Chains A and B, each alone.
Chain A
Amino acid sequence: MVMVTKVPPRHTPPHRALRLLLASGVTAVSLVAVPGTAAAEDDKSAGNTLTVAVSQSIDSLSPFLAQKLTSTSIHRLAYEYLTNYDAKDARTVPGLATAWTPSADKLTWTYTIRDNSKWSDGKPATAEDAAWTFNKMMTDPNAATANGSFTANFAQVTAPDPKTLVIRLKKPQATMTALDVPIVPKHVWEKVGDFSKFNNDKQFPIVGNGPFVITDFKVDQYIKLKPNKTFWRGAPKFDELVFKYYKDGDAAVAALQKGEVSFVPNLTPAQAAALKTQKNIKVNDAPGRRFYAIATNPGAKAQDGKTFGNGHKALLDPAVRKALFLAVDRTTLVDKVFQGHAVEGEGYIPPRFGSYFWKPSDAQKRSYDPTAADKVLFAAGYRKNAEGKRVGKDGKPLDFRILCHATDPNDKAVGKYLQEWWGALGIGLKVDCLDSVSDPWVKGDYDLAFDGWSVNPDPDYVLSIHTCGTLPATPKDSGATDNFICDTEFDGLYAQQAVEYDTAKRADLVKRMQSRLYDTGYMNIMAYPNALEAYRTDQIASITTMPEAAGNLWGQDGYWSWWSATPTASASDGDSSGSSTTVWLILGPVALVLVAVGVWTARRRRTTADDRE
C-alpha cells in the first residue's frame, strides 16, 4: 500500500554520508531498519485487507444479546441465517435453508437444511444446530434478549434428520421466511452457562459458518475477520476484513484519504462534498434504511407493573407531546442539518420499504405550526408565567432533558434547533450528550431521547420493540423494548399482522400500526437519513449495494457488500508491496554495509590507537 511514504529518504549514497554515519552507525541502521520492518509488516497484512472504519461500540458478540447495528452486521458475516434477503430486491433467498414449506394450516414449517455448509472448525452445520438455537431461545429467557420476538410464538422445534428442520407454531407467524436469527453451532454453545453474561469474545477464532470468521476483537479498537474458504456461496475475495474503530469522523475520513481504510460510513455533508472531488474515492449517497426520531419517555414500566425512572410527568400528557412535535420543523432539519441528504420523516418505516411505507393523513398529520402548538398548550392549561416560561400543572416551569449521543453530530445539531423552537413556546430543554446513553435509557432516567433504528425488509422486529411484551420483566432487567411504549391497540394490531400470511393484508395492518403509533404521539420521526458513505476505488474494485440500484453498503440486510467486494487487481497493492520490497532490498544491504563499515572503522581506530601508543 502507500506505506512507502513512511520510509525515511535515507538512501543517500554511502560515500557522501559516510563520515556522519560512521559516527552514529548503529543509530543510522536502526533508523533505516525499523520503519523498513514496519512497512514490510503493514504490507504483508494489508496485501488484500478490506478495512472498514466504524464508530459504534459492540454491545456483545453473542448473537443472543447483540442489538446494535455494528454487532448485528458482523453476525451476518459470521453466522448463516435460515434465509437471506436478495441484494436486488430484498426478496427471501436461501440461506442455511435451501427450501421451506408450510403445512396447509400454516402452523408447521419444514425447512430443508443445506448439506454443504460447514462450521469453521470442520464440523457440518445441520438442522440439529438450528433446532438447538431456537430451542435455547424458547427455553432460556436470557437467550431471547436480542431476537426473542421471532421465537415467542414457537411451540416446538425439532430436527428429525440433519437435513430437516421442523418448526411448529402456536399461531400462524408472518416472519417465517424472515427469521433474522443467527444459527449457532450446538457443539460450541451447549457448553455456555449463563447466556446473559456470555459475550462470545474470549476464544478466537469464533466458530461460525458465514462468509467470514471472526478471528480477533479488541473493544473499541478493531474486529478482525478472515474469509471462510469453505463458504457454500463462494469464499469472499479479500484476504482479511478489518473493522477498525475511529471514534472521530474526521479522523476516519483522513484515514480514507491516506488509504489506511477502504470504507467510511456515516459521512457528514461537508465530508461527502469534499470527498466527491477526490480521485480514487467514490461517494455513495443512497436512500437509507434508518429512521431518525425523537422519543418521549411514556413513563417507564416493567412487566410486573412497577414504574421506574425519572421521566418528566408532563410528557404523559398527550397535549404536551403534540405541542412539542408541532413545533418541530422537519423540513428545516432535512435542509439544514442533513443538507438534503435525507428524506423528511412521516411514518415509522422508511419509504425505501415501499409496501409498508405509511404517511399520516392530512387530518392526523402534525405539520410544523408553532401557533397551533401554543394553542394546544394553552387549551390544555399550560400558561406562560411572568418570565415567559411555560408552567406545568404543578406550578413549576416546564424544563425537559433530551438524551443525545455525544458521538453523533446530528443529535447535537438538532438539539440546538429544538432548544430554539421549544424555547419560543416557553419550554426549556437541556441537551444531555453522553458517550453511552444506554445507562439512563435502560433505567428510564430521561424525558426525551434521540432515537433511530435500521429497518429490515420484514418490519416485524422494529414493530415488536414497541409492544408491551418487550418491556423488562422487572425494573432491574432490561428488555428488548425501545422506549417503554405499551399500547393495547398497537399490540392487538401487532398480533394480527404477525399471523397474517397475505402480504397485502399484512402491509395494511402494518400501516395501521404505524398510524396508531403516530397517534399515540410518543415518537416523532424527523427524517430518514441517507446512507452517506465513501470507499476507495483503488482498493475496492467492485462492491454490491443493496438494493442493487441506489442502495447502501454499510448495515445491509445481508452480507452482500463485504462478501462481494473484490480487491482492485494489484494496481496499488501489488505495485507498492513490490516497491516496498525494493526499498527493503536497497535499504537492507545499505544498512548491513554501514554496520560493517562502522565496526571495521571502530576496530581500526582502536588498533591504530594501540599502535600509536
Chain B
Amino acid sequence: MTSTEPTLPSAASLRWERRRSSVSRFWKAYRTHRAGLYGLAGLALIALLALTAPLTVGADVQSVTQAPGTALESPSSEFPLGTDQFGRSLLGLLIWGARISLLVGLLAAALSVAIGTLVGIIAGHYGGWFSTVVMRITDWFLVMPTLVLAIVLATVMSRSMWTVVIAIGVTSWPTTARLVRAQTIAVESRPYIERATALGGGHGHVMSRHVLPNVMPLVLAQTTLGISTAILTEATLAFLGLGDPTVVSWGGMLQDAREAGAVSSGHWWYLAPPGIAIALVALAFTLCGRAVESVLNPKLGVSR
C-alpha cells in the first residue's frame, strides 16, 4: 500500500522551521533600529580586526625584546600611532589588545548573566523563605559598590585574566538576578505551568523547559548590555594595575601609558587611542543591546 497522506514534517524539522522564522522575525524587527545596525556594523568590524590580528599584526607585536622602534616615538608613517616605552608599535598593540578586552568583556558578561539567571530562576521558582533569603543576598551584592568589590577580589586573587573575569562576573550579577526573578514569577503564574506540573513535570523540568526559554530574551538583552559594562570594568581594573601586567589589553595600555609618564609628558597618542577604542566598543555593545532589548522585550516592543 502506498500512502496517499502527505508526509507529516518531523518534529525536528518543525522546530527548525519555527526557529528560522523567529530569527527572521527578530532580524526584521531589529533592522528597523538604525542605531542598532550601526552598533552591529561597528562590532563586526572590531571583531574582524580582533580575530584577524594574528595574521595582520602577529603575536610578535607584544614582544619587548623584538620591538622595532625606540621608546615613545611620536606618530610616523612606520608607526601610525607612535610607539610605547619599549618601542612597540601602538597601533599593533591596540589591535592586539582588542582580543583581550573583548574576550574578557564577553566572558565576564556571560559569567555574570549565568549567575544572575541561575539565582533569579531558582529564587523565582521556589519562592517563600528561600526566595527571601536569596534575594537578601542579592540585595547585599546590589548595594555593594561593584568596583570596590572587584578591586578587593582582584587584589586577593593572583593577577591573571581569569581573576578579572571572575571579579567582574561575581560582582555584577544582582541586576540580572532581580530581572530574571521577576520574569520567572510572571511566567510561572501562567496556566500552562500549572498544567505542566499537573502532568508530572518536576521542578527541574519546569525551570529548564518552560521558564528558561521564556526568560532567554531578557537574558540575551541583558548580556549584550552587560558586555559594555564588563569591558569598561576590565579597563578600569587594568588601569588601576589589577590586571595581568603581562597581557596587552586596552586598560593595561592606559596603565602602561600612565606608568611611562605619558600623561605628564604630553604623549597623547599613547593615551587617546585605547581610551577611544574602549568608548567605541562599549557604545557599540550598548546600541546593539538597546535594539535587542526593544525587539525582545514585549513591554518596550509594542510601541514601535
Interface on A for B, CB 8 Å cutoff?
A: 248-250, 253-254, 257, 267-271, 273-275, 332, 336, 339, 404, 406, 409, 412-413, 415-417, 419-421, 430-433, 435
Q: Which of A339, A420, A433 contacts B241 (CB 8 A)?
A: A433
Residues of A within 8 A of B264 (CB): 250, 253-254, 257, 271, 274-275
Selected from A254, A267, A433, A435, the residue in CB contact (under 8 A) with B245 is A433
Do A409 and B64 touch across chains, with their CB atoms under 8 A apart? no
21 of the cross-chain contacts (CB-CB < 8 Å) are A248-B258, A253-B261, A253-B264, A257-B264, A268-B259, A269-B71, A274-B264, A336-B67, A336-B87, A406-B241, A409-B259, A413-B85, A413-B86, A415-B246, A417-B65, A420-B64, A420-B65, A431-B159, A431-B246, A433-B159, A433-B241
Q: State A556–B281 Cα separation when bound (angstroms).
A: 49
Task: Tell me the chain B residues, 261-275 only, with Cβ under 8 Å from chain A.
Answer: 261-267
CB contact between A268 and one of B67, B155, B241, B261 (< 8 Å): that residue: B261
Contact B245 A250 (CB under 8 A): no
Q: With the chains together, A58 CA to B151 CA distance in Å?
A: 23
The answer to the question of B260 belonging to the interface, with a C-beta cut-off of 8 Å to chain A, is yes
**Which residues of B sit under 8 angstroms from A433, Cβ to Cβ?**
159, 241, 245
In the complex, residue of chain B having the shortest beta-carbon distance to the beta carbon of A340: B71
A274 touches B266 (CB 8 A): yes
Any A CB within 8 A of the CB of B72: yes
CB distance from A36 to the nearest CB of B (A): 30
Q: Is B24 close to A, CB under 8 A? A: no
The distance from the CB of A263 to the nearest CB of chain B, in whole angstroms, is 15
Given A339-B71, A415-B245, 15 more A-B residue pairs with CB atoms under 8 Å apart are A248-B258, A249-B261, A250-B263, A257-B264, A269-B71, A270-B71, A270-B260, A273-B265, A274-B265, A409-B260, A412-B259, A416-B246, A420-B65, A430-B158, A433-B245
Interface centre among A271, A409, A415, A432 (most CB of B within 10 A): A409
Q: Which of B71, B155, B262: most chain A Cβ within 10 A? A: B71
Taking Cβ atoms with an 8 Å cutoff, the residues of B that contact A are 63-65, 67, 71-72, 85-87, 155, 158-159, 241, 245-246, 258-267
Q: Nearest chain-A residue to B257 (Cβ)?
A: A250
- Residues on B with C-beta less than 8 A from A270 are 71-72, 85, 260-262, 265, 267
Interface contact B261-A416, CB-CB below 8 Å: no
Known contacts A248-B258, A416-B64, A336 near B265 by CB under 8 Å? no
Residue in B closest to A273 when the chains form the complex, CB atoms: B265
Residue among B86, B158, B259 facing the most chain A CB atoms (10 A cut-off): B259
- Interchain nearest-CB distance for B82 vs A (Å): 12
Is chain A's binding surface mostly helix, strand, loop or mixed? helix
Secondary structure type dominating chain B contacts = loop
Q: Which residue of B lies closest to A408 (CB)?
A: B259
Q: Which residues of B contact A254 (CB under 8 A)?
A: 263-264
- Given A336-B87, A416-B86, A433-B159 in contact, is the A274-B65 Cβ separation under 8 Å? no
Q: Is the CB of B245 within 8 A of A412?
A: yes
Q: Within the complex, what minimum Cβ distance (angstroms) separates A576 from chain B?
A: 23
Write the nearest CB–CB distance from B55 to chain A, whole angstroms. 22
Chain B residues with CB below 8 A from A416, complex form? 64, 86, 245-246
CB distance from A486 to the nearest CB of B (A): 29
Separation of A181 and B179 alpha carbons in the complex (Å): 65
* A417 lies within 8 A of B64 (CB): yes
Task: Please report the C-alpha to C-alpha distance between residue A15 and residue B116 in the assembled complex, in whole angstroms.
Answer: 61
Q: Which among A248, A274, A275 has the greatest number of chain B C-beta atoms within 10 A?
A: A274
Please state if A332 and B260 are interface contacts (CB–CB under 8 Å).
Answer: no
On whether the beta carbons of B265 and A271 are closer than 8 Å, the reply is yes
A525 to B62, CA, bound (A): 26
Q: Nearest Cβ in chain A — how far from B152, in angstroms?
A: 12
Q: How far is the CB of A509 from chain B (nearest CB, A)?
A: 39
State A211–B82 Cα separation when bound (angstroms).
Answer: 48
Q: How far is the CB of A339 from chain B (nearest CB, A)?
A: 6
Chain A residues within an 8 Å CB radius of B65? 332, 417, 420-421
User: Which of B86, B258, B262, B264 has the most chain A CB within a 10 Å cutoff?
Assistant: B264
